[in-house]
Structure 1
Amino acid sequence: MHAQIVLFDGFDPLDVIAPYEVLYAGGTASAGAVSVELVSAEGPREVVGGTGGLALRATAALDPGRAGLILVPGASGRVGEPGEVPDHDAGAGEWQQDEFIPVLLGRALATELPALLKAALDNPEVTVGTVCGGSLVLAMAGLLEGRHATTHHLGLDMLDATGVHAVSARVVDDGDLVTGAGVTSGLDLGLYLLEREVGPRIAHAVEELFAHERRGTVWRNKGPEPAGF
């Protein structure tokens, strides 16, 4: 499995680093059955994250035609108070410290990223994963209507408003779409994908290496509906 982790201006570094390290360790434990790289819609470049201006380097352009996994992080910035709106010039120019998360996501939507993600979702050989607000990037682009997905708990209502079946779970498996909730869920998402795609023994070995037990039940749209309680 080859994994492409997407960088865009204002990305949340932990959304990227947590699954990157899990998948990279999975590649080591599986004698190279998993590979991972950082990509961007624009190609190789330094990409500035939303936490203190921390930058990571994308080494290639996102390729939706390549079989494997494409993983989209969320953004790191200000959530804002209820009713607070960005200034009229918010989003203009380059990344600035403490920008609103919706502004950062909106800026990502103004790039080639949505078209590339649509092509990835249309490719039967690609699984698309997201961490935190990464699912909102796809949802705001109109790519997840009718699908089951999760995001950070503060964004579940927004996710639901786009026509997504928002699920309050740490990891949601909807077939070729696997989504994670808050930022640290990137560890659990990565471990689940290792288990699903490579096998539980590899995932368990990485769990032991990282001294982290995967949290929560992975939600899938299977089995009987639970009774109300």
Structure 2
Amino acid sequence: MHVDILLYDGFDELDAVGPYEVFQTAGAFGADCDARLVALDDRATVTASHGLRVGVDGVFDSDPSRILLVPGGGWSDASKPGAGMEAEAGDVPDAIAAHADAGGVVAGVCTGGMLLAHAGVLDGRPAVTHASALDDLRAMDVDVRDARFVDDGDVLTAGGVTSGIDLALHLVERECGAEAADRVATEIEYVRVDAPGRN
């Protein structure tokens, strides 16, 4: 499993870094799993919502063999860098739609789910986003669920911030096996929520 985490100015740090650590830890333990941080343009760094400057591994190329994970952040004020501004600009939703149209799997963490909705990939499908944006998601053609994360096959969404870790562990389990996911959860000392077969 190979994952591209798409960064943009104003993304929430943990939405991206939490899943990144899960995927990279799984790979370090021998699973066929890795992640890279990408942007839509050629740049060295991206500035996150709390001021963290993050290095970028490359430019997103919409390789459908890679899972595209989109973090959220900054949804409520589209005048500031964040998911709201990106939804209005349209470039990130266009990239998500193109990736899905090419047969790639897409995942949204927190209000990254709103960017998936603006891309049209959540139309008529079950999904969740951060609690602060649920009414916005309900206003679109989306089957909003009360869940920490939702797996609808080629489209996955997670609620707020730390639920991205649950989503990432779920993806590791789905693609690499339960043993790999359990080992990562133990390593990062994380108690899984909504994991298959667990309470």
For residue 106 of structure 1, report the CA deviation from its aligned partner: 3.4
Compute the TM-score of the two structures, normalised by the length of structure 1: 0.79
What corresponds to 1:55 in structure 2? 53
Counterparts of 1:144 and 1:26 in 2: how far apart (Å)? 28
1:182 paired to 2:160: yes
Counterparts of 1:116 and 1:56 in 2: how far apart (Å)? 21
1:163 paired to 2:162: no
Following superposition of structure 1 onto structure 2, how do residues 118-129 of structure 1 map, counting pairs within 5 Å? 118-124=97-103, 126-129=104-107
Following superposition of structure 1 onto structure 2, how do residues 2-151 of structure 1 map, counting pairs within 5 Å? 2-31=2-31, 33-51=32-50, 53-76=51-74, 79=76, 91=79, 99=80, 104-109=82-87, 110-124=89-103, 126-151=104-129
The code of the aligned residue for 1:36 comes to A
Q: Which protein shows a greater Rg? A: 1
What corresponds to 1:82 in structure 2? none
Counterparts of 2:98 and 2:90 in 1: how far apart (Å)? 14
Counterparts of 1:59 and 1:111 in 2: how far apart (Å)? 22
Counterparts of 2:121 and 2:150 in 1: how far apart (Å)? 16
Q: Per-residue CA shift, 1:166-219, capped at 9, x if unaligned?
A: 11100101110111111001110110000001111100110111111211256x
Equivalent pair of 2:148/2:194 in contact (CA under 8 Å): yes
Equivalent pair of 1:65/1:119 in contact (CA under 8 Å): no
Q: Structure 1 unaligned runs (5+)?
A: 80-85, 92-98, 219-229
The code of the aligned residue for 1:64 comes to S
Compute the TM-score of the two structures, normalised by the length of structure 2: 0.90
Where 1:47 maps in the other structure, the secondary structure is strand
Counterparts of 2:2 and 2:23 in 1: how far apart (Å)? 9
For residue 30 of structure 1, report the CA deviation from its aligned partner: 2.1
For residue 64 of structure 1, report the CA deviation from its aligned partner: 1.4
Where 2:68 maps in the other structure, the secondary structure is strand
The code of the aligned residue for 2:47 comes to V
Number of residue pairs aligned between Structure 1 and Structure 2? 195
Where 1:15 maps in the other structure, the secondary structure is helix
Report percent identity of matched pairs. Answer: 38
Equivalent pair of 1:44/1:59 in contact (CA under 8 Å): no
Spell out structure 1 runs of 4+ moving beyond 6 A.
none
Coordinate RMSD, CA, aligned:
1.8
Equivalent pair of 1:156/1:168 in contact (CA under 8 Å): no
